[in-house]
């Protein structure tokens, strides 16, 4: 077995809010072509990590690289253009816009989303329909997003992320608040999309999902990695048990 190829990688990534160190010189590498998971107790810095690597907040120190290319401090749209897509814990969709328009808006500037979405090109509309079919919600294309169940809204958001054809997809708690049947559907989709060549980095509290889905798990505690490896090793790592149980 050869060395895994690096995907997203950080060196000494540091971010403090007032007196609270959210990221404490975090040096971590995720694997290209794999399903990676980032886990850790509440407050361990996972969200701040996502926000720093997607350009939503600026780190105080350290570097962010994607496939060897430096992206430190770049704005979100540049990070997106580099091939990195992201979903949010609290699911970002336009509630009063139709499902189809949400997807067209996902690849257009937000301020103009409404008008431009309706003028969406034929090719883009077909691509949007393709992703909706893939998510199993194509029958809802004319519904307003707010009419969808929470799990369906998560699928809609994922379809929106896929509209930009990212090669690395960051998912922030994809199973959070989602019913078990839809969790299975999301897992299947991640597996399929990964088999098609997309890399994933998933922050998730559902340990069954993390352990069954991921190839590589990184565990954060107090703003830095304390363990990393395949799920089988992580599950029995004493530092990991300690971080979760506070022993
Ligand atoms: P996780 O996602 O693992 O739960 P976070 O990255 O949300 O962890 O938080 C890490 C630490 O940083 C926590 O102590 C949290 O309270 C703090 N923190 C995160 N964002 C902010 C913020 N905008 N202002 C102040 N403190 C923050």
Distance between CA atoms of 12 and 32, rounded to whole angstroms? 20
Cα 92 versus chain centre, distance: 12
In the prediction, which pLDDT does 241 show? 80
So what's the pLDDT on residue 234?
86
- In degrees and rounded to multiples of 5, residue 237 shows phi and psi of -75, 125
The tens-digit pLDDT sequence of the chain (247 residues) is 677 899 999 999 999 999 999 999 999 999 999 999 999 999 999 999 999 999 999 999 999 999 999 999 999 989 999 999 988 776 678 888 999 988 988 777 555 555 555 555 788 889 999 999 999 999 999 999 999 998 899 999 999 999 999 999 999 999 988 889 889 999 999 999 999 999 999 999 998 899 999 999 999 999 999 999 999 888 888 888 877 766 5
CA atoms within 13 A on the CB side of 45: 27
* Residue of 13, 20, 204 to test ligand 1 pocket, by largest number of atoms within 8 Å of CB: 20
Q: Can you tell me the ipTM of this complex?
A: 0.97
Which helix (H) or strand (E) segment holds residue 10: the answer is strand 6-17
Ligand 1 in reach of 48 Cβ (< 6 A):
yes
Is any ligand 1 atom within 6 A of the Cβ of residue 17? yes
Rounded to the nearest angstrom, the distance between the alpha carbon of 143 and the centre of ligand 1 is: 35
Tokens matching residue 156: 């809609």
With pLDDT > 90 as the criterion, what percentage of the chain qualifies?
70
Q: Are 26 and 52 in contact (CB under 8 A)?
A: no
Q: What are phi and psi of 38, to 5 degrees?
A: -120, 115
How many Å lie between the centroid of ligand 1 and the Cα of residue 208?
25
Query: What backbone torsions phi and psi does residue 92 show, to the nearest 5 degrees?
Result: -100, 100
Q: What is the pLDDT of residues 28-43, one digit of tens each?
A: 999 999 999 999 999 9
Q: Is the CB of 20 under 6 A from ligand 1?
A: yes
Is residue 120 lining ligand 1, measured as CB closer than 6 Å?
no
Q: Is the CB of 102 under 6 A from ligand 1?
A: no
């Amino acid at each position: 077995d050869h060395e895994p190829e690096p995907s997203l990688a950080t060196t000494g990534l540091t971010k403090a809010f007032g007196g609270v160190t959210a990221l404490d010189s975090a040096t971590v590498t995720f694997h290209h072509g794999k399903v990676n998971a980032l886990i850790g107790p509440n407050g361990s810095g996972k969200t701040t990590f996502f926000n720093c690597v997607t350009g939503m907040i600026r780190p105080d120190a350290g570097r962010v690289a994607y496939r060897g290319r430096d992206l430190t401090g770049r704005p979100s749209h540049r990070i997106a253009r580099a091939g990195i897509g992201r979903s949010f814990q609290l699911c970002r969709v336009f509630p009063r816009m139709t499902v189809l328009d949400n997807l067209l808006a996902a690849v257009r500037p937000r301020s103009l989303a409404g008008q431009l979405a309706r003028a969406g090109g034929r090719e883009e509309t077909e691509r949007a329909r393709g992703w909706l079919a893939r998510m199993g919600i194509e029958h809802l294309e004319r519904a307003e997003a707010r009419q969808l169940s929470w799990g369906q809204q998560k699928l809609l958001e994922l379809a929106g992320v896929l509209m930009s054809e990212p090669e690395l997809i960051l998912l922030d708690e994809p199973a959070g608040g989602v019913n078990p049947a839809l969790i299975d559907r999301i897992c299947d989709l991640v597996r399929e999309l990964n088999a098609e060549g997309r890399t994933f980095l998933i922050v998730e509290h559902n340990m069954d999902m993390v352990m069954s889905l991921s190839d590589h798990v990184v565990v954060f505690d107090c703003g830095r990695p304390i363990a990393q490896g395949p799920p089988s090793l992580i599950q029995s790592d004493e530092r990991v048990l300690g971080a979760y149980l506070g022993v």
